[in-house]
Structure 1
């Protein structure tokens, strides 16, 4: 199931280059700057609505903001979004996942052009498949819906939805333009990395096309650690070489003004080779002396999508519609080479290989119908979502005695190859319906929504799984879940709105928890499937007030989310007839997270002509989370976090000073866990439109060179007594610059 994403996307790029371009140009998609709450979003309701008119908290990051903030990865993308955290691990694996209001992992739905990003999976110290599959340079917009969103997006939307939208040809073609060519080069000192990118777009009356290619090359991300050398005491980053490449290509055919066919091919490849200096020296657990440890991690994703949009269907069941079919292949391969001398003085080489592979086929269709009943106007949305996902995971390895040359696949506690769960196929089928009901003069909007999901899991026992788990019976699983939502928006004045919502979220029992399987008689334990697992669920209440005026915009939101039946993996449940300790995944945990969020901005020029061009932007998030089963705090919930920026924008240049402020962490699930101190960090950005074709962006982050621990970088289980806390610090003062040319 190995993917070949770059060749796949390049194939469509060649097709796009060869398409005919007629004489009539496309209109550009660029718009005048908007107030933050006047922006049009689609993820929250699947329809185009301004933020003032949606009954959810939605964050939007557009292309211009990404360029101004010199975004190169997910960490940069959400740097100034309190309540949204990107995790990062020290030493090898890098960026992990996105946490929304304290909930992360596979409990947040991540979409790229509507296609779900593959799952995260990790086991042990040598295996970590993350969800970092997006190149920010291919994006035109990002939308985040906070809170349970399963009424529209189904499983995994417990914590919210992160939706990435990639660029289209029309995003580059202004009025009167038939073609666009652009190039970009940049440098970032935080990881001594360079990035190169190029874009070409063509447009005519019916055909248009886009090709975007990018490449990054750099090293390990720096921190403020000062201890070098080899061994467990090292706090400086491990030496690392990193390369990332991406291709996005689109071909659009518009047979008429009100419909479009779109073929998209996208590919990403990433590789990181790490010299694991922190793993050298004597190992406390085994007594072995590691002399060399090298990691080679590779990650690929390929996506092909074919879709169709109709703006004027003119049928009883729909006024407009869109549908798409897709295939997506994602694969993570991580190899580890370890040379050591055992406690008994035997020199040996250990080679481990981890592979996690997902292939998904899907069909999505959405229909929209407007009608009136009595004094109410209705905007009905309904649709279906079908997907089939095949998931494979394997760990392999061999042990070589460097003295005798003997090679074996026995590396206790494993006899390789092994699978930690069987090859699994999951089929999902869902139907959703939502009605936006507008009363009277449009001041009051009610939004009921309902989605029904059918989830089927079918495992397959192959020779690898059977040999590692003799006699173990795996289980099929079939579940049906109903997810309702009710929202309300009251525009009590043209530029003010009150909103409230009640929503359910859920996550289907994962294949690896339902059929986890491993037995090790020598160590006295076994893990067994659990066909009785229930879906994890959430119930959320949210309410807030928004204002969008010509000078001031602001939004204040309060929320309370309750989570039930969280799955605890490999929970000890007793002993079997053979005296082995038995582990099984079970629904045991309940939690709640509640908090308050604020976003605001002021156009100072609207207050006084003397302040023309100046503006203020700020945001803050306070939250509290509790594990109600264990009666202890949730460590994944961030402390009070805020950002405040002051900017000046002129016709050809601009600058912004942004502060990030975090309160010290006060609560943890155990007394001996490290509570990271509070901090304030200043970042400075500048842009200069040198000519209409040439643009320069530059930034200095952490101006005061402060040592601090950012949320998501510090593992949740680090003890106060740890001697290597500086490993998890953020980079010191660093600079980034980007030069873009467009014709």
Structure 2
């Protein structure tokens, strides 16, 4: 049976071996070490390689083979069959949005690539949106998702959970005895007329190995079920768009001796999109202007360089092994918008807007591991340090040109460009963490306490642009220390059963963009002021579950309850100043609660009867409730109940899977007068063929019945029932195909 036909399991069975200080094999380390499905190994949850059955958390794992079978192109494809994990998207120009875990998203979810945090998201208004979609999924060997607060290991922004992307190494391509690999991949998808291609080369010797992977993708706008192809606010069909992207991943690995590796990584992505925003043409009700043309040119890029070192065996009093890395990462988003219009006064003008968001990060991470025994208890102590510095700059600029006279002006009310919405800011974090995995007696009970101490410092400097736009507005620095504890336990009573429970503290440091908001407009009568007294957003997460893993059946049920305090509300009205201007300030005001249950289960029918060999069934479901306890209304970011069910068959050289996705009606919203999306059920079909040992074909048909539906996170909460709802629908029936050649 091909293991990847079944959804990567969240369950495992006890790994036989020594009771004390037992180390699991490294995940995805090669064909000879590939784990059985029920023994799936993860790293992110505890920073150690552990079978999930030994982890007191809910963890999702999606490996490379599963990504290929599901023809994963973007983040929506990646988490399509993971209830409780949502990827948002927007209509128009910006596309993929953020990742939500159990109803919490944005910068409250920690996203890592090989342990390096992905840059922040930031948006303001209709023309500026810097997202966090900076990874080429074809370069990954696996993705791990830890649900719930994880600040005890990963610090700020892990309030809602962690998404960890792990890129491939040269040895992932080289079978035992093989010293060279060359691979090609071609694919196409009909829902965006997309084409993608990639090439990979890997070389390996006794001590040196290397990898170079390049990718390219291009296409048009993603389809929906909207039928109005006109212009203006009533348009529901997608706006015409052309997009393309490219990526490169290069690694050089040096192994000076057994159990020691140096790794140099260069990683970069670049994406561009040109959009003709037909939905913004025509009369604009707020200004009375008539838009004749609106075009957008968006570009984002990320570049990362990292030097890492791993030592498997040490003879130190404080560590048996270690790993560390130094990194630098640059991320930048540039978005340009051109408008041609006739004003309410009859003046023909062109408006050129530009938005830039630039973030540069440096960091050092070091992790140490020590195994020892005290009495009848075995310990695996993991401790480490994490230091980083991040410089963030943002700017909006613009120019208005009178097309009749040629006169130009940088005044585009309510702004006089250029402006910064916050001053150039540098954030520095120093952290120390420690975690002990304690195994008692015969190994049936495991206790996992941990704690992390973070020191967060914000240094902001008002440059000429910020000072001119915000006269008299004070800029503040910030220093905070946060302690994040956790405690988990796993008990295996036998018979394939295990129970787990845990508590974890989460936090998010006050963002630079909230501490020093920069908006002053005398004409419109308002100003925004800094708040150096902002407290970190915090969470307390409780989780408990039961797992069963047998020869034919696996099942896991988890319940969780997360309380969030001191959520930061931006632009909160606090009164009037001496000049009579309305004063706005970011403040800690909100409290929230999210609770729910998650289920994952599967059956290998071949283990029940030889007559059913090759047949598998897997399923997952998520139910959650969220409440804004300050406003006493439901949280709109929490999804309705969702579920997936997949029936697969594997026949050696080929296999197929029929997958169904279900969602309940959204009946809990903050404003019941707004549109509530109906429930839906959608069928998808996937198949793969190993045409030869070196040639694999994957194909899929999504939304077989051509069903119209709204996926969670795609429909803006503020849509009324008579709005242009169909513009936010998901694609109808679509086909995807890919061909992989490995030499």
The two structures have a TM-score, normalised by structure 2, of 0.96
1:672 is displaced (CA, Å) by: 1.4
**What do the CA deviations read for 1:608-654 (whole angstroms, capped 9, x no partner)?**
11110000010000000000000000011011100000000111000
Q: Aligned partners of 1:204, 1:31: CA distance in 2, in Å?
A: 18
The answer on 1:445 being equivalent to 2:428 is no
1:155 and 2:147 equivalent? no
- C-alpha contact (below 8 Å) 2:35/2:41 kept by paired residues: no
Does 1:109 find its partner at 2:110? Answer: yes
Q: Work out the CA distance in 2 between the residues paired with 1:459 and 1:431.
A: 25
C-alpha distance in structure 1 between counterparts of 2:469 and 2:286, whole Å: 25
CA contact (8 A) 1:155 1:507 kept: yes
Q: 1:28 touches 1:174 (CA, 8 Å); kept in 2?
A: no
- Structure 2: runs of 5 or more not aligned: 1-27
2:20 corresponds in structure 1 to none
Listed as ranges, the matches of 1:502-521 within 5 Å are 502-521=503-522
Q: Any idea what the Cα deviations from partners look like across 1:79-120, whole Å, max 9, x if unmatched?
A: 000000000000110001100000000000000000000000
**How far does residue 34 in structure 1 lie from its aligned partner after superposition?**
4.9
Tell me the secondary structure at the aligned position of residue 371 of structure 1. strand
Aligned length: 716
Q: Which residue of 2 aligns with 1:495?
A: 496
Alignment of 1:280-291 (within 5 A): 280-291=281-292
2:730 aligned partner: 730
Structure 1 residue 143: deviation in Å?
0.2
**What's the counterpart of residue 124 of structure 1?**
125
CA distance in 2, matches of 1:374, 1:532: 48
Q: Match of 1:126, SS?
A: coil
Aligned mates of 2:189, 2:239 — CA distance in 1: 18
Q: CA contact under 8 A between 1:190 and 1:222: conserved in structure 2?
A: yes
Report how far residue 470 of structure 1 moved.
0.9
| Paired residues for 1:387-402 under 5 Å | 387-402=388-403
2:687 match: secondary structure: strand
Shift of 1:401: 0.3
Structure 2 residue aligned with 1:524: 525
| Equivalent in the alignment of 1:590 | 591
Q: 1:423-482 CA distances to partner (integer Å, 9 max, x unpaired)?
A: 000000000000000000111000000000000000011000010011111111000000
Q: CA offset at residue 553 of structure 1? A: 1.1
- Asked whether the equivalents of residues 552 and 602 of structure 1 are also in contact (C-alpha less than 8 Å), the reply is yes
- Alignment of 1:220 with 2:225, yes or no, is no
Query: Does structure 2 conserve the Cα–Cα contact (< 8 Å) formed by 1:240 and 1:273?
Result: yes
Unaligned runs of 5+ in 1: 1-26
| Structure 1 residue 716: Cα displacement | 2.0
Partner residue of 2:11?
none
1:560 aligned partner: 561
Distance in 1 between the 2:459 and 2:125 partners? Answer: 25
Aligned match of 2:739: 739
Paired with 2:121 and 2:32, the residues of 1 have a C-alpha distance of 37
Mapped partners of 2:662, 2:475: distance in 1: 49
C-alpha deviation, 1:674, in angstroms: 1.1
CA separation of 1:538 and 1:367: change in aligned 2, threshold 3 A:
same
SS class of match (1:532): coil
Closer, same or farther: CA 201–539 of 1 in aligned 2, 3 Å: same
Q: Residues 589-668 of structure 1: matches in 2 within 5 Å?
A: 589-668=590-669
**Partner SS, residue 31 of structure 2:** coil
SS of the counterpart of 1:200? strand
Q: Secondary structure at the match of 1:64?
A: helix
User: Matched residue of 1:155: which SS?
Assistant: coil
Give the stretch that moved more between structures: 550-559 or 321-330. 550-559
The offset of 1:38, in angstroms, is 1.4
| 459-468 or 33-42: bigger deviation | 33-42
- 1:547, 1:453 → 2: CA distance? 37
Retained in 1: the 8 A contact 2:506–2:539?
Answer: yes
- Separation in structure 2 between the aligned mates of residue 46 and residue 314 of structure 1, nearest angstrom: 21
Contact 2:358 2:394 in 1 (8 A): yes
Are residues 151 and 82 of structure 1, via their aligned partners in 2, closer, same or farther at CA, if it must alter by over 3 Å? Answer: same
Q: State the Cα distance separating 1:36 from its structure 2 match.
A: 4.1
SS in 2 for 1:490: strand
CA distance in 1 between counterparts of 2:553 and 2:199 reads 38
Is contact 1:35–1:553 with CA below 8 Å preserved after alignment? Answer: no
The Cα of 1:313 is off from its aligned counterpart by 1.1
Q: For residues 495-532 of structure 1, what are the alpha-carbon distances to aligned partners after superposition, in whole Å with 9 as ceiling and x for unaligned?
A: 22100001100000000000001100000000000000
Residue 38 of structure 1 aligns to a residue whose secondary structure is: coil
CA deviation after TM superposition for structure 1 residue 31, in Å: 5.0
- TM-score, normalized by length of structure 1? 0.96
Residues 247-396 of structure 1 aligned to structure 2 (within 5 Å): 247-396=248-397
* Alignment partner, residue 191 of structure 2: 190
In structure 2, do the counterparts of structure 1 residues 647 and 53 end up closer, same or farther at CA, with 3 Å as the change threshold?
Answer: same
* CA distance 1:142–1:31, shift in 2 (3 Å): farther
Separation in 2 of the partners of 1:323 and 1:431?
14
Equivalent residues of 1:38, 1:548 under 8 A apart:
no
- The answer to whether the 8 A contact 1:280-1:290 is kept is yes
Q: Is the 1:28–1:175 contact (alpha carbons within 8 Å) kept by the matching residues of 2?
A: no
Is 2:416 the partner of 1:415?
Answer: yes
Q: How much is the aligned-residue C-alpha RMSD, in angstroms?
A: 0.9
